[in-house]
Amino acid sequence: MNSGQLLLVSILLSSFIPGIIIFCLPEEKHRLRTLLNFCGSIVKISLVLVMNAGIYYGHVFEIRLPLIPGVELLLSGDPLSALFTTLSSVLWLLTTVYAVGYLEDSPNRSHFFGYFSLCVTVTIGIALAGNLVTFLLFYEMLTLATYPLVIHRGTEKSLRAGRNYLMYAFSGGAVFLVAVVWLQAIVGPMDFSASGFSPMYLTSHGSVLTFIFILLIIGVGVKAALVPLHGWLPQAMVAPAPVSALLHAVAVVKAGAFGIVRIVLDVYGAHNLLLMGVLPLLSAVAAFTIIYGSVLALQQDDLKRRLAYSTISQVSYIALGMSMVDQQLAVIGGLVHLVHQGLMKITLFFCAGNLAETLGIHRISEMRGVARRMPLTMAAFSIAALGMIGIPPTVGFVSKWYLGLGSLAGGNWWLLVVLVVSSLLNAWYFLPILIYAWFDKQQGPWPEELYVGRFETRLMLLVPPLVTAFIVMAAGLVANAQISPLAWVRFIVRGYTL
Amino acid sequence: MFPSDTAVWIVFPVILPLVAGLLCFLFKRGTFGIALAAAIGNFFVVCFLIYQMLVYGPMRCYIGGWHPPLGISLRIDGPALLMLLMTAATGLAVTLYARGYFLFRISDPLRARRHKRQQYYFWPLWMLLLTGLNGLFLSADIFNLYVTLELIAVSAAPLAALSGKPASLRASYRYLLISLIGSLTYLLGVVFLYRSCGVLDLALLQNLAGDGLGISTALVLLTVGLMLKTALVPLHFWLPPAHANALAPVSVILSALVVKASFYLLFRFWFEIFAPIISPSSLNFMGTLGALAIFWGAIQAMRQQRLKLMVAYSTVSQLGYLFVAFPLSMFVDGGQVWSIVVFIALTHACAKSAMFMVAGNVYLHLGHDRIKSLKGVRSSQPITVFAYGIAGVSLMGLPPSGAFIAKWMLLSASFASLQYWWAVVIAGGSLLAMIYVFRVMSHFFVIPEGESSKKNVSLSPLLEWPPLILALISLFLGLISPWVLKIVLYKDSGLLAQIFQGGLP
Amino acid sequence: MKKKWNNHIRGRNPFQLLFLFLLFMLTVILAVIFCNIPEKSSVLEAGIVSMQNQSGVNSPVTAVLLNFRGYDTLLEVMVLLIAVIGVWSLTKATSFGNTADISPVQLGVVHLLTPVMCLVAAYLVWQGSHLAGGAFQGGAILGAAGVLLLVSEIPWTHAVPALVLRIGLVFGPLIFTGIALYCLWARGGLLDYPTGSAGWLILLIETTCALSIGLTLALLFAGGRPDENGSEGDIQ
Amino acid sequence: MITTMLYSLTGLILFGMGFYTLIIHSHPLRKILAVNVMATGVFLILVATAYIPVGQGDIDPVPHAMVLTGIVVSVSVTALALIFACKVQENSNLDLLRKRNHRKPMKERGL
């Protein structure tokens, strides 16, 4: 049990143990529960930073647990997993702060925060998974950890949403299980490696491997909300705001996108995929999802449903980036969008939660002149919205820029058209919100004025969106610096021979 | 052969519960103490036997000192010991749970006398059932297996009828008749076998099992008899009413243990004794019956309105997996035929007993188990609902449960042998399982609008912790699978290995 | 509309005829298969003749029953006990009629016959070691005597306290298990009778088991647990 | 050799007849009797296999021991089944001993 393995285990345990303790805590121990949450997340962030430094200097972190011949659990820290781990742990801290403020006096919070920590543990597990079996293990456990969160309110609507979510997630899981076993039956047990499995299998099992690739993408696509499989996402909006923030920015959707990245880069490898010629199919699905998500977002009047549909379209940028796997620029764009989209989306959901919590605003039509009442929240919202559209100083622009360069370099210009059209659509459904908020006058009283105080809303609700909005701006401005997400993504892509 | 002194321990799993059963019937007070002592003793003896087997390898004990053609021999090898471990662990949990169950029942003065009587007769019947189970897993003599099967049947029927309700009386009467027919068919098979081989010991039968007509009819009769007792789909109609209407601890015993005993025999006959004369078509036939069981059980489970009936039908469905293992067992990598069956059986035993205990707790607390009106149980019984969730998850075969390992092996076997339809059956089965498990789960989570969620109902720890521990065992069985596989590998190499090399064409 | 397919009146409905035909064919096939199973000289039979002298009894059946396959008999006696426990858990004993309407002739016969039956039972048990006989045959006769007493409403049969009944029932199996454990302790093998003492040990087992089996069969005929009005009455 | 054949044949026919009655008739008493007939059939076959004309014509005792055990087991099971039948009848308010109870719909007949 060398130091590297100890580090990996302690990263996982730093949110698992608080989760278990919180489960056993009686309901009224608020301060202890918040304290546990905070030290858990702070310890996790520090450990993750130590691991990132280790990975940067080439140190190998790996734990193997053999189960049965041919199946072993493997946790390994490689640059790609470090990216997703850092994103999850940072956003978990912010979401915990937000959730403590949001659920001020609601019932059975021990359950909520218990499942909350379990969910992050499983997300970190997905990030650190070293082979498809471990990925499958944590992927299925993610559904179980998030289900109680989705139905936290216990109303009939949330239960129907939960049932729907389970139906999609478990069918995807079953397809994924069958595909993983089938792949292992052909290719034999293999870990994630820079170039995927050896091309000799292509000659003998070409068509079967293509079919398995499609199954794998379907299995992972359910959580990445690719079009035919996205039905559960808008319905999961019935959950409380911190849950929808967690689901859409940090855990579930990102796990799906991360799965696509793993399959494309580490399981099949760029070279094999080009030989199999299945990439146009992936880019077609991704492009269709981008357009379809944006078009549907236009028609939604409910703020959170509009954000949900915009998530569906935004996540497919990552799939788009992965579908042009032969272009290094496109891969960089896709990977860096993984982080940027998380930051922007979580800011939007924090602001939507604030509006709902303080002024009881759920619909966009009710947001006229809200900026006067809540300037800071709307400022954060605007920064994130502009980022989603891809206006230069923000992170959104960086990732779209690289995706555009990649598609041009690869010669498939129609993807550039898709990018431009989707940016226009983003503008079309985000700018009216900003115009309503900033330039319209307030018509009539707010639906329910829940909070009046020195600041526009409770401090615990206000600080997280401001911090993430600041990161959205900062990461965009200092994109070329040493420590920015873009630099780390370049470090990752350098490891792959594309 | 083996140092005879070490073989003396093999007999204790049978003798301990036997003596306990007699004493429980004799005395009126302290019966729980005797039963608990026997259950704990049985558990430790089985652990000691596993240790001994790992040191000395599979062992035999000749009762009365007479060697096989004449006397009866008890044998321990990998699969037998794991089944014994399953029975011992689940048995210990059931003993504790039953104590809590009856204490709760006796505490309400309304029908205290009836529940006292039920408790008094539960312990001896349960101990003698445990004797039959341990005897069956140990025995290596085909007629002795008939006597142990009969011991199980005769003690299981009155146990099922203990609750005294007309529905449970009728169900257990039919159960007694069905298992009687099964035993007689089994006995006829034994007669055919004795007529053609003249020997009763399993290992010697293994040698003499040529492919004569008499022996294959014997196998058919044995199979039909045991299928009746294992409730495979066409012959499963007696199981749901019997298991659902029984008292909670009794339905745990019936569902988790009794059904597995006859399956264990069936699998041992098909894959050890009569392996040379098994044709692939007969294996596929059993596989299709298993697939039928999976889908039919799952569909019925989805339609039930009562929780215990739903769990009973899910037993019918999960047994289907055991039979799907028949055609695929030959293609498991690592070649051990028993690994899939052992994993499914162990996980199902723990998960199903946890589910029935939860159903019992819900019944005790709410007074009914209609699924539609299970509101607010999560807030009043958090630990029970948590145990149900974990048991449901491991029943569905999600990682890291034992069933996941079994499903993984089944799937890789079906892909290795290019029989893709089995993969569809298995994946579909686990999806259907998800539906009927989470249908109930969502009803648990409904928060009743009317009154505020009730404070935690203080169920005694004896009622709440056994299901949770069993559910956790079934969930984390996957993580300890290397050791389980190591034990399973210890087959009774003796006579079986050479004959078995050929395997199937 | 009178039900046409009434399965009790003489006219069988077609399904039953089909089932009858199928079953008949099955039986014929089984019989044909069974009859031409090649003649196999039983390996066992030779073994028994040679081991006969060591088994401590001359009758081969008793040797097999109690020595070579004693474990089967142990479990089998337990099956009988479980049957009684099961019956007791299900019902109370049927309330007996009064002794008035039992004709004196029957009472006379009963008073005469019962001792004779006990004697015959004892003889059967004793003879079991070298001729056909043994625990079960003796137990059956004792059971018949018990049934006779119950039928003729002999007053003391209802007054037997439940504890005595339970001890009687458990006495045989307990002794059998005790002896088995003694052999385990003495010779290191369950039911491995020490040399020379096999004969009288088997006789001891047979007598105790005969008593228990007789009592079991009588109580099975009584059909339920004795009413516990005597003792603390918590078990009714 | 003929006697073995004859006894085994009758044993099997008894088994068949018992099985038929068991499946067809729904009266509990008939079912229990049918099970007894089946058991006797099996024991008859067992006894038939015991008679092996080996030179001096002595009997192979093992089937006899099996028959003895079988008889004891079937006695105890029959007793239990009869008590069960009484209890089932008691609850479904139907007269066990009345010979014909077929006029009632299937459900009420208790099985």
Give the pLDDT of residue B138.
92
Q: Is B147 on the interface with D (CB under 8 A)?
A: yes
Q: How big is the B-C interface in CB pairs under 8 Å?
A: 158
Give the pLDDT of residue A248.
73
Per-residue pLDDT tens for B8-40?
Answer: 888 899 999 999 999 999 988 888 999 999 999
Total domains in chain B come to 1
Token pair belonging to B478: 């996957």
Whether the predicted pLDDT of B91 surpasses 90 = yes
Total domains in chain D come to 1
Whether the predicted pLDDT of C31 surpasses 80 = yes
Query: Nearest CA of chain C to the CA of B475: how many Å?
Result: 36
Cα C145 from Cα C140, distance rounded (Å): 9
Whether the predicted pLDDT of B372 surpasses 70 = yes
Give the pLDDT of residue B497.
35
Give the pLDDT of residue C50.
66
CA angle in degrees (0–180, nearest 5) for B266-B124-C139? 85
Q: Is D111 on the interface with C (CB under 8 A)?
A: no
Per-residue pLDDT tens for A85-107?
Answer: 999 999 989 998 988 888 877 77
Nearest to B231 by CA among B256, B253, B263: B263
Cα C82 from Cα C78, distance rounded (Å): 6
In this predicted model, which residue has the larger pLDDT, A94 or B450?
A94
User: Residue B312 sits in which domain range?
Assistant: 279-489
Domain ranges of chain A: 278-498
Interchain pair D49, B158: CB under 8 A: no
Whether the predicted pLDDT of A297 surpasses 80 = yes
**Cis bond leading into B69, ω under 30°?**
no
Whether the predicted pLDDT of A19 surpasses 50 = yes
Interchain pair C69, B71: CB under 8 A: yes
In DSSP notation, A314-340 reads HHHHHHHHHHTTT-HHHHHHHHHHHHH
Share of chain B above pLDDT 70, in %: 93
Per-residue pLDDT tens for B256-297?
Answer: 999 999 999 999 898 888 888 888 889 999 999 999 999 999
pLDDT band at D95 (very low <50, low <70, confident <90, very high): low
Give the pLDDT of residue C8.
54
Phi, psi of A102 (to 5 degrees): -70, -45
CB distance C58 to C52 below 8 Å: yes
- Please, is C2 exposed, middle or buried when counting C-beta atoms within 10 Å of its C-beta (0-12, 13-18, 19+)? exposed
Q: Is D22 on the interface with B (CB under 8 A)?
A: yes
Interchain pair C220, D5: CB under 8 A: no
State chain A's mean pLDDT as an integer.
Answer: 87
Give the pLDDT of residue B354.
94
Residues of chain C positioned with their CB less than 8 A from the CB of D75: 80, 217
Give the pLDDT of residue B253.
93
Question: A73-102 in b/e burial notation, b at 16+ Cβ within 10 A?
Answer: bbbbbbbbbbbbbbbbbbbbbbbbbbbbbb
Half-sphere exposure of C76 (CA within 13 A, CB side): 25
| Percentages of chain B per state (helix, strand, coil), in multiples of 5 | 80, 5, 20
Q: Is B224 on the interface with D (CB under 8 A)?
A: no
Per-residue pLDDT tens for B337-365?
Answer: 788 888 899 999 999 999 999 999 998 88
3-state secondary structure A244-291: HHHHHHHCHHHHHHHHHHHHHHHHHCHHHHHHHCCHHHHHHHHHHHHH
**Among A377-381, A467-471, C227-231, the least confident range:** C227-231
Per-residue pLDDT tens for D42-55?
Answer: 999 998 888 765 54
Interchain pair C78, B131: CB under 8 A: yes
Nearest to A195 by CA among A281, A297, A265: A265
Residue whose token pair is 């004797």: B131
Whether the predicted pLDDT of B505 surpasses 50 = no
In a domain, C161, yes or no: yes
Q: Do chains B and C touch, with touching meaning 3 or more CB–CB pairs less than 8 Å apart? A: yes
Cβ neighbours of C5 (radius 10 Å)? 11
Per-residue pLDDT tens for B108-140?
Answer: 888 888 888 889 999 999 999 999 999 999 999
Residues of chain B positioned with their CB less than 8 A from the CB of D92: 166, 170
CB distance A247 to A236 below 8 Å: yes
Give the pLDDT of residue B356.
93
Mean pLDDT of the region B138-156: 93
Mean pLDDT of the region A471-477: 86
Query: Nearest CA of chain B to the CA of C89: how many Å?
Result: 6
The residue of chain B nearest to residue C184, with distances taken between CA atoms, is: B8
Cα Rg for chain C, rounded, in angstroms?
24
Nearest to A374 by CA among A426, A451, A428, A297: A451
Give the pLDDT of residue B172.
92
Cβ neighbours of D56 (radius 10 Å)? 6
Mean pLDDT of the region C170-176: 93
Give the pLDDT of residue B160.
93
Strand partners, A75: A63, A129
State chain B's mean pLDDT as an integer.
Answer: 86
The residue of chain D nearest to residue B190, with distances taken between CA atoms, is: D46
Token pair belonging to A76: 């390994």
Strand partners, A61: A77
Strand partners, C225: C92
Residues of chain A positioned with their CB less than 8 A from the CB of B333: 69-70
Nearest to B171 by CA among A278, D110, A439, A386: D110
Cα A119 from Cα A91, distance rounded (Å): 13
Cα B437 from Cα B415, distance rounded (Å): 28
Interchain pair D84, C76: CB under 8 A: no
CATH of the domain at D99: 1.10.287
In a domain, B459, yes or no: yes
Identify the H or E element spanning D16: helix D2-24
In a domain, C21, yes or no: no
Q: Which of residues 121-140 of B touch C (CB under 8 A)?
A: 121, 124-125, 128, 131-132, 135
The residue of chain B nearest to residue D92, with distances taken between CA atoms, is: B166
Residues of chain A positioned with their CB less than 8 A from the CB of B442: 151, 159, 162-163
Interface of B with A (CB under 8 A): 333-334, 339, 379, 382, 389, 393, 396, 398-400, 405, 407-409, 411-412, 415-416, 423, 427-428, 430-431, 434-435, 438, 442, 445-447, 453, 478-479, 481-482, 485
Nearest to A78 by CA among A3, A183, A8, A6: A8
Total domains in chain C come to 1
Residues 6+ apart with CB under 8 A from B381: B361, B362, B365, B456, B457, B459, B464
In a domain, B305, yes or no: yes
Give the pLDDT of residue B349.
93
Give the pLDDT of residue C215.
93
Residue type at D57?
Answer: G
State whether residue A461 is helix, strand or coil. helix
Whether the predicted pLDDT of D106 surpasses 70 = no
Residues of chain A positioned with their CB less than 8 A from the CB of B389: 144
CB distance A11 to A47 below 8 Å: yes
Give the pLDDT of residue C1.
44
pLDDT band at B375 (very low <50, low <70, confident <90, very high): confident
Q: Neighbours of B (≥3 Cβ pairs closer than 8 A)?
A: A, C, D
User: Residue C153 sits in which domain range?
Assistant: 59-222
Give the pLDDT of residue C167.
93
Q: Do chains A and B touch, with touching meaning 3 or more CB–CB pairs less than 8 Å apart? A: yes
User: Residue D35 sits in which domain range?
Assistant: 2-109
